[in-house]
């Protein structure tokens, strides 16, 4: 079975992931890779519907966690696993670390509950699907807040106070500590060109980019 490369991108709202994901998709295609670009919550018709609910509909923290993992289940089954089996590079704007950071760190959902959900949703033949690389755009919440002021109408996460994002960052840090090899932590408050150079370097180090 051919096996692709799974890369996820994480960070608090306003960290500036999207333009780097677009640029990386183009660069990888130029180097001959077949690229699947997707996002969470979302990436399938069902998961995009769940995304609308999670981002806009009031709900309690555990309901939110169950919905993001339900969306992930559909996305993994329909998009991510088939793409990896084809040998694609999968670039995913957020994955399970976001649930630990936002629902765990930000909302206070029990970590063990999230680990259980992760096992159920991402397991296949005993192995839990994880990205091969997670690029974490680490941005101080105060900088993100200043950027988000100019953004479109805020959703249920973007409208949270700065303190919420400190908790989210702690959630990401806890995930990184648990699996440091998987993470490339990039200081997202550097000039854009430097952030881009760091993104490329993370792939060069793993032998995926020339």
**Binding positions for ligand TMP, rule: CB under 6 A:** 13, 39-41, 68, 93-94, 98-99, 102-103, 157
Nearer to ligand TMP, 68 or 184 (CB): 68
Nearest Cα neighbor of 90 from 78, 107, 99 is: 78
Alpha-carbon distance of 168 to 40, in angstroms, equals 16
β-sheet bridge partners, residue 39 = 93
Residue with Cβ nearer ligand TMP (13 or 74): 13
Minimum separation from the CB atom of position 151 to ligand TMP (A): 10
Give the closest residue to 188 by CA, choosing from 163, 169, 160: 169
Those residues whose C-beta lies under 8 Å from the C-beta of residue 158, and which sit 6 or more positions away, are 13, 14, 148, 151
d(CA 132, CA 134): 7
3-state secondary structure at position 208? coil
Question: In angstroms, what is the minimal distance from the CB of 40 to ligand TMP?
Answer: 4
Residue whose CB is less far from ligand TMP, 33 or 144: 144
Minimum CB distance to ligand TMP smaller for 94 or for 185: 94
d(CA 105, CA 116): 16
Least CB distance to ligand TMP at residue 197 (A): 23
Q: What angle do CA 176, 177, 183 make, to 5 degrees?
A: 30
| Shortest Å distance, C-beta 179 to ligand TMP | 17
In the complex with ligand TMP, the residue whose CB is nearer, 61 or 200, is 61
**Burial (Cβ within 10 Å: 0-12, 13-18, ≥19) of residue 4:** buried
For ligand TMP, which is the closer residue by CB, 37 or 208?
A: 37
Q: How far is the CB of 154 from ligand TMP (least distance, A)?
A: 10
Give the shortest CB-88-to-ligand TMP separation in angstroms.
20
């Amino acid at each position: 079975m051919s096996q692709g490369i799974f890369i996820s991108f994480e960070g608090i709202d306003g960290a500036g992931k999207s333009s780097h994901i677009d640029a990386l998709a183009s660069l990888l295609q130029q180097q001959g890779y077949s690229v699947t670009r997707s996002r969470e919550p979302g990436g399938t018709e069902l998961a995009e519907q769940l995304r609308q609910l999670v981002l806009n509909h009031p709900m309690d923290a555990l309901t939110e966690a169950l919905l993001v993992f339900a969306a992930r289940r559909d996305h993994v089954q329909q998009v991510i696993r088939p793409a990896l089996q084809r040998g694609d590079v999968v670039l995913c704007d957020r994955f399970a670390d976001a649930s630990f950071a936002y629902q765990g760190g930000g909302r206070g959902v029990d970590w063990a509950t999230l680990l259980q959900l992760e096992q159920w949703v991402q397991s296949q033949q005993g192995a839990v699907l994880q990205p091969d690389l997670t690029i974490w755009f680490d941005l101080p919440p105060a900088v993100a807040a200043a950027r988000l002021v100019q953004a479109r109408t805020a959703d249920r996460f973007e409208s949270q106070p700065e303190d919420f994002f400190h908790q989210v960052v702690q959630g990401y840090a806890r995930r990184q500590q648990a699996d440091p090899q998987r993470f490339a932590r990039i200081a997202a408050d550097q000039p854009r060109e430097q952030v881009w150079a760091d993104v490329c370097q993370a792939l060069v180090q793993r032998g995926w980019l020339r």
